Amino acid sequence: MDSRRLLIILSILLVAGLLPVALVRAAPFLQGIENWVADHRVATRTPAAPQQPDIVIAAITEETLARFAYRSPVDRAFLSDLLRGLEAKGARAILLDVLLDQPTEPVKDQALYDTIRALKVPLVISHGGAAEGLTEGQVAFINGFVPVEKRGYANLVKDSLDGTVRWIFPGQPTPEGEWQPGVVPALAELLGYAPPRETVALAWRGRPDAATPPFRQFPAHAVPLLPATWFKDRIVLVGADLSDRDRHVTPFRTAYAGNDGVLPGITIHAHALSQILEGRQPPERGLGLAIAVGLLASGLGLALGMVEIALWLRALLGLGLIGGLWLLAGPAFTHANILLPQIGPSLSVLLGLWLTDIWRGRRERDQRRFVQAAFAKYLSPALLDELIKDPSKLSIDPKRREMSYVFTDVAGFTTISEGMDAATLADVMNRYLDGMVRVVFAHGGTVDKFIGDAVFALFGAPRDMPDHAERAAACALELDRFAQGFLAAETAAGRPFGVTRIGVHSGPASVGNFGSDARFEYTALGDAVNIAARLEGLNKYFGTRVAMSGATAALCPGIPRRPIGRVVLKGKSEPIAVFQPLDAAEDASPFIGEYRAAYASMAAGDDGAATAFQHLASAHPQDGPTVMHRDRLAADGQRDLVVMSDK
């Protein structure tokens, strides 16, 4: 994989993986959806657990308040008796989640004041200050009423976006700069547990079943009537369970209606305390997880975008990937305590798929432009349009394939060109080569290169061409007709020009891009290419203008031809059959029939072959092959075998 492509893939991976993470965190709407789906998993997939055995809630209910002359503040004498009663029943520790921030009846206030200081059981009482909305008078009263060592902030950490409680409040500095823990960390520390000193996500305790709450709860006013064993060695949390105050939105609101999802503060404290006591870890979630899952999702989208399938199927599989991520989220939370993000990764899959599709489209457009730029001067317009519409038919990576090759050259043109000025030479060559190229294109060939006045054309690349030999042979005949017409026109205009010689051969060769990092070209390499070039040169020896190998002739039986000989090229040991392709008029002439008969006699080793070629040469002294065989046979030539001593 080249470095540029790798860089693009990494860029797509990072952009598609990280941008949705940032977008979800920056867009309240998306963050709200992400929070909701995570909360719904907490509410519906939190594993069931037995009712917590060590924590009991003594709830101040509507029935409790109905026993007093006023609802607020809570009757101080009642609280005093409740605390003493819990201590007497053997409670292990007590949390009083009631703000004692104002005076009530002096006698009752004094009773509670004395009880708070007399209790031997660990006790934490809710506390607040100006930051919690208390007036200066309330702050002064609560500070005087609740000893410093028994204070704990009653704050709850709520999401600024939707007001949902999802964290344990660790505490905060007092106005004097001293650290004061929240009520839960304060009570945990009194019980010998290490309290959190920073915000920690809540690990909500599961219910035993749908009808049973996770914590045992009794009305506070019923505590004196209940057995002591129900409270002995238990941590008792005293707080309000009322319908109109101190209720807070929790993740359970996504699955439970009414008060089952909007919990009392004391119940939230119970969940937080049980988490600390049991050492339960909060669900894994956060920026690091969001980034990791986002990169994974973008990688899946990118991989899917690279698959060569229909767009509708790719889109369907993309939705399937997103669905799989959503299905995985439930078990990941239930069994691994991981709250996988879902909105961000879903966007990452789509963005990765989309960006990859854009990149692939850009690559395809670049490929089309490359094909057009690279082959516009080599291929016929019709073939070029076909390759641009369907690049899959084009292969420019080197590969070995069967093809046919046409080489042309103008005899003596180097000498002729030395007598022309630059402008005349350019005009003549441009018109000549333009005509030759048009003929090659008309037959579906590819112009590989120009070598001075020579033309090298391929048939069978870059697109597969089953009839490459027939096309090459037909092209050679038409090139010969064009070149002869061009020669006649130039001669009539007083401009010297040479005879064009053409060689045609078919066989395997490697074709593709060859060269260096600085420059390469699309060409064919191999022995078959060299043979085609050698055949073009043999025309001078044969006295012909077009020479075609037996390999090509065997692939195009419909092209008329006459045999020239079995030729052993210099440097080779095995002969190749060489033919001269003919047009229909030449093929029908009596002379060709006589030539074929004489050649057959020669090939068979008949003694009369020399006489036959002698008579033919006398009648047709301008025919190169006839004269060549006459002279060979007169010099004791070996039948139709021609051994070349030079190239």
Confidence of residue 373 (pLDDT cuts 50, 70, 90): low
Please check whether residue 357 lies inside any domain of the structure: yes
Please check whether residue 521 lies inside any domain of the structure: no
Query: Is the link from the previous residue into 462 a cis peptide, with omega within 30 of 0?
Result: yes
Q: Express as a percent the part of the chain with pLDDT over 90.
A: 71
Question: Counting beta carbons within 10 angstroms of the beta carbon of residue 557, is it exposed (0 to 12), middle (13 to 18) or buried (19 or more)?
Answer: exposed
Domain endpoint, select from 353, 370, 387: 370
Domain endpoint, select from 256, 278, 300: 278
Residues 227 and 338 in one domain: no
Confidence of residue 376 (pLDDT cuts 50, 70, 90): low
Confidence of residue 557 (pLDDT cuts 50, 70, 90): very high
Residues 366 and 421 in one domain: no
Joined together, the tokens standing for residue 70 give 């006023």
pLDDT at 363: 61
Residues 269 and 295 in one domain: no
pLDDT at 519: 58
DSSP letter at 45 equals H
Mean pLDDT of the 74-89 span: 97
Domain extent for 313: 3-20+286-370
pLDDT at 78: 97
Please check whether residue 387 lies inside any domain of the structure: no
Residues 294 and 358 in one domain: yes
Q: Express as a percent the part of the chain with pLDDT over 70.
A: 93
* Predicted confidence (pLDDT) at residue 448 exceeds the cutoff of 90: no
pLDDT at 383: 53
What is the average pLDDT score of the chain? 90
Residues 559 and 434 in one domain: yes
How many domains does the structure of the chain reveal?
A: 3
Mean pLDDT of the 575-593 span: 93
Report the candidate in 557, 512, 564, 573 with the shortest Cα–Cα distance to residue 535. Answer: 564
CATH of the domain at 571: 3.30.70.1230
Domain endpoint, select from 344, 370, 396: 370
DSSP H/E element including 489 = helix 468-492
pLDDT at 396: 53
For 558-589, letters b (16+ CB in 10 Å) and e give: ebbbbbbbbbbbeeeeebbbbbbbbeeeeeee
pLDDT at 524: 86
* Predicted confidence (pLDDT) at residue 360 exceeds the cutoff of 90: no
Confidence of residue 618 (pLDDT cuts 50, 70, 90): very high
Least confident span in 179-193, 237-251, 352-366, 494-508: 352-366
* Predicted confidence (pLDDT) at residue 426 exceeds the cutoff of 60: yes
Joined together, the tokens standing for residue 507 give 């066989």
Residues 133 and 204 in one domain: yes
Most confident range (mean pLDDT) of 90-99, 153-162, 313-322 is 90-99
Confidence of residue 204 (pLDDT cuts 50, 70, 90): very high
Please check whether residue 25 lies inside any domain of the structure: no
Residues 169 and 311 in one domain: no
Confidence of residue 294 (pLDDT cuts 50, 70, 90): very high
Confidence of residue 622 (pLDDT cuts 50, 70, 90): very high
Report the candidate in 509, 417, 420, 414 with the shortest Cα–Cα distance to residue 460. Answer: 509
Residues 606 and 624 in one domain: yes
Please check whether residue 37 lies inside any domain of the structure: no
Least confident span in 179-193, 266-280, 579-593, 624-638: 624-638
Please check whether residue 470 lies inside any domain of the structure: yes
Please check whether residue 33 lies inside any domain of the structure: no
C-alpha span between 217 and 271 (Å, rounded): 13
Residue with the larger pLDDT of the pair 522 and 279: 279
Residues 183 and 110 in one domain: yes
Joined together, the tokens standing for residue 143 give 């500070």
Confidence of residue 230 (pLDDT cuts 50, 70, 90): very high
For 16-39, letters b (16+ CB in 10 Å) and e give: bbbbbbeebeeeeebbeebbbbbb
pLDDT at 511: 85
